[in-house]
Structure 1
Amino acid sequence: MIDRQVLVIGPDTSIRTALMQLDRGGLQVVFVEDAAGRLVGAVSDGDIRRGLLSGSALEDSVGGIMNREPATVSLTASQEHVDALKSRRGIRVVAVVDGEGRMIDVVGEQGRIATPLETPVVLMAGGRGQRLYPITKDIPKPLVPLGDVPMIDIILGRLHDQGFRRVHVSVNHLGHLIEEHLGEGTALDLEITYLHEPAPLGTAGALAQLRDAIEVPFVVMNSDLLTQVDLRRMLTFHEGTGAAATIGAREYGFEIPFGVIRREGDDVIALAEKPYHSELVSAGIYVLEPVALETLAADEYCDMPTLLGRLMDDGRRVGAFEIHEEWIDVGRPEDLERARQAWERRRR
C-alpha cells in the first residue's frame, strides 16, 4: 500500500522538497493531493526539468509545474487495463483512486494491481462431490489436493493476489473439515466467514444468509474451479453494464463423431462429416448485485439458473462476460488429473 510520507505532497510543496521526495520514493514520481485528500496532480523528474528550464525556481511550489491529469485507474481495474494505460501514456506508475478521487494505492513498473477490495467473494463449497467418489467419501472436494496443496487454498491464494480479502464459504458436506482447515483465514491474510447449509441448498440457496450483510456487488464462484480469470476485469465489465447479474461464460465445443444429415422432407440437402459445435456455457463464476438476494428465502433450495431466471422475469438485466483464460471444472477424475498437471506446470 501507498506510503504517504514518501509519495504524497501538497500543491504548495516546493520543487526542492519534491525532488527530495522523488529520491526517497524511488518511483520517479510523487503525487499531489489537495486539502480534501483528492488526487490533483503528479510530479516526475521530467516535469521538474521542464519547469526549471522554463524559469521556475527550486523554491517555487509544484502547483505550477505538476501534471494535472495523472494516470489513474479504479479500485477494480484489471491488470490488462493497467498495462494498456502504462503503454498508452508511456509511464511506469499508475495511481489507484476511489470513487471520490482519493488515492488508495499505486502500481509501479513491475507491480501488479492487487489493491485490497471491499468486494466480498462467496465460495460455494457445500456440494458432495459425488462424481469424484470415493475420493470425496471422507474429504470434501475443496480439500482434495492438487499436488500437496488443497484446491481451496489455490483458489483463495489467487483471490488474495487479485486484492480480495472478504470471503464467505458455504459449507454442508464435511463442512467442519473445511472450517478446521481454513479457520478465520488469518494464515491466508483473509477474513473468512461461513454460511452453514442445514441441508443441501443448491448453487445459490445459501446466499439468502447474506441478505442483510452485503450492500455492494459481490462475486460468487464454485470452489472446484482452477482458473486464471481476472475477476477485477469481470467486476469492471459488470459495473459498466448496469446489470443485476453477470455470468462468467466460456465457450464449450464438441465434435459430433458422425456424419450429420440435413434434410427437407425425405430429401437430403446437405451432409457434414463430424461437424464441430460450440455453445457458451456458465463457468460457475458470477457477479451479483445485492438486489439478487431479495429473490431468495431462508433455507430455500435454489440453483443459480433459477435465481438468474427470477431476475430476468422481474425485468432485470443479466449479462455475460466471456472467459478466455485457463479454466478447469474439477468435477470428474479426469478433470482432477488435468488440474493437477496444470498446477504442477505452473509451479515449475
Structure 2
Amino acid sequence: MTSRWGRSYMTTRREEVGMLNALVWALACFGVVAADIALSVVLFSALGVASVFMGFSIDDLDIQLLQAAAQMASFLMALLWWRYLWPRSFMTRWQGERPLGGGAGKAWRRIACVIVIGLALQVVVGYVTDAVLSLLPEVAADYSELVEETGMGDTSYLAVLTTVLGAPFCEELLVRGIIFEFSLRAFNPQCRPLWKRRRRAGAQDGAMVPWAAPSTWGIAAAIVLQAAIFGFMHMNWVQGCYAGAAGLIFGWVLVTTGKLRYTILLHFAFNAGSYLMTLLWFVNTPFDVIITVAIAGVILVEAMRSLRQACGMDAARAPFR
C-alpha cells in the first residue's frame, strides 16, 4: 500500500514533468516562428548577394514581389514540416475517431458557416480596432506610417493575392498546423504515446496507440497559446492584438471541424472581408458602428453554433473523445 508521502511525491513529480513538458513545447512553438524569420533572412540575404553579382539594387524590387517570394518559401517549409508531423499529430488521431459525416449537404453547410464566421469576424474586429485607434491618436499615426512603409495598404493584384490567398495557406499551416500541434503537446503530456510512436507509422495506425484523450483545459490552453503566437507573428501592436483575438476563433474552428481546410477557408474569408468592408459605406456615425458590430456579433455567434451542429458536436461529444 502506497504511503501518503509516496503519493505526495508522485503527484509532485508528475507536476514537475508536466511543467517541463509545457516549457519545452512552448519553446518549440516560438522555435517555429524563429525558423520562419530565419528563412526570410536567408532569402533576402541571398537576394542581396545576387544583386551584387547581377548588377541590380534590391531596393528597386517591388516590396510586394519580395513579400510574395518570402511567403512562398515559408509555405514550402511549413508544408514539408507539417507532412512530417502529420502521421503522429493530434489531428490525425482526431479525424480517425471523429470523422465528419452528413454527406454533401452538411459539408456545404460547414463551408457556408465558416465563410460567414470569417466575414462577421472581420466586421467586428475591424470596427472595434478602428474605435480603439480613434482613442489612441499616436498609436493610430504610427500604425498608418507602418502601413504605408510596408505596403500593407496596397490594393494591387499581387498584394490582394498574397493577402487573400497566400497568407491563409502559409499561416494556417504554420500556426493552426505546426504551432497548434506543439501547443496541444505542451498542455497534454498524458498524450505523449501519440507523438512518440514509431516515425514510419501510417496515419491509420494512430487509433492503435493507447493514450489518454487531451483534457478540455489542455485544449483551451493550446488555443490561447497558438492565438497569442499568431498575434506575435504580426510584429506590431495593432495587428498583433486583432490577429490574436481572431486566432482564438480560428483555433476554435479547428477544434470543432478537425480539418485545416476549414481554417484556411476561414482565413480567406476573414482577409477578403477587409477589402469588402468598403461596401459598408453607409456606416458613418458611432451609433451606426455600434448597431453594425452588434448585428455582426449576433451573426458570428449563430454561425458558430450552426457550425457545431453541422460537425455533430454536442456536450456529450467533446473533441478527441
More strand by share: 1
Question: Whose RCO is larger (CA < 8 A, sep 6+)?
Answer: 2
TM-score of the two chains, using structure 2 as the length reference: 0.26
